[in-house]
Amino acid sequence: MNATLENAKNIATEDYFLLVIRNWDDKLEDYLPVDDPSTTRQTFSQYSVAETAFFSTNYGSCSQSGGKDVKLELLHLRFGVPHMIRNRILFP
């Protein structure tokens, strides 16, 4: 099964890379889940492009941060199972 993702190419939905920016929640004392509506997601078919986006993302480009820390994660999804590749926390 193929689906058109953000980069306008048809790629297998079973194998792709996901760059997520998760916001800090004071009540949870943790970062919001990946499926939260406030979480920013970008989908990539190639690892090199996803990794470049990961390293080029800085705190200033996280408009949804609201002055709080954000967690940046690069995930590889294979058959719906997420695998962490890289993560880092960005501070204001």
Q: What is the pLDDT of residues 29-80, one digit of tens each?
A: 999 998 899 899 999 999 999 999 999 999 988 877 788 899 999 999 988 8
Rounded CA separation 82/84 (Å) = 7
pTM: 0.79
- Tokens 């609201």, located at residue: 66
22 pLDDT more than 80? yes
